[in-house]
Amino acid sequence: MSFLMNRLSILALLLMTASVGADEAQQHSHSGEESANAAVQVFIDEKTGELRAPTEEEKSEMAEQFRRRFIDQVEDKPIVRNADGSLSKELGTRHRMYTVARIAADGELETRCLTQDLAVDFLNDEKMHESPDEASE
C-alpha cells in the first residue's frame, strides 16, 4: 500500500509542479532548457534509478518555493477598486485549484480540490499515510 501511496504522491506533485512551471513559462521569457527545468521536478533514487517520493526536506523546500512564488506574484499586482467599493488583485491562473488524491490510512482513495499550497500540505500530511495498525499505536 505504501508503494501505491508514494506513486500517487509523486504523480500529484509532478502534476502540480508541471502546472506551476507552465504558468511561469507563459509569464516569463526563458530559454527552452530553463522552462523545462521549471515545469517538472522529479526525485530519483540514486541507487536504483527509480522515481521516489521526495524526502521531508525536499517537500519542505518545494512548499517554501511555492509560497515564495505566490508572495512575489501577489505583491507586484496592482490593487483594483471594484464597482462596489471593494478592493481586489487580479492574480491570474497561477492560483487555480488542483485536484489531488492519496490513499488514506483506511485504504480508501481520498480526493480534494485545493489551492496549490493546501494541496502540498494535503499530500505531506504524514498522519494520513499511516496504516490503521500504526495509527492505533
In tens, the pLDDT along 53-78 reads 888 898 888 888 888 877 877 787 88
User: What dihedral angle (degrees, nearest 10) is formed by the CA atoms of 103, 62, 121, 49?
Assistant: 10
Is pTM beyond 0.75? Reply is: no
Range of the domain at 97: 2-136
Amino acid at 97: M
Task: Provide the strand spans (E) within the chain.
Answer: 80-81, 87-88, 97-103, 109-115
pLDDT interval class at 13 (50, 70, 90):
low
110: pLDDT strictly greater than 80: yes
In the chain, the number of structural domains is 1
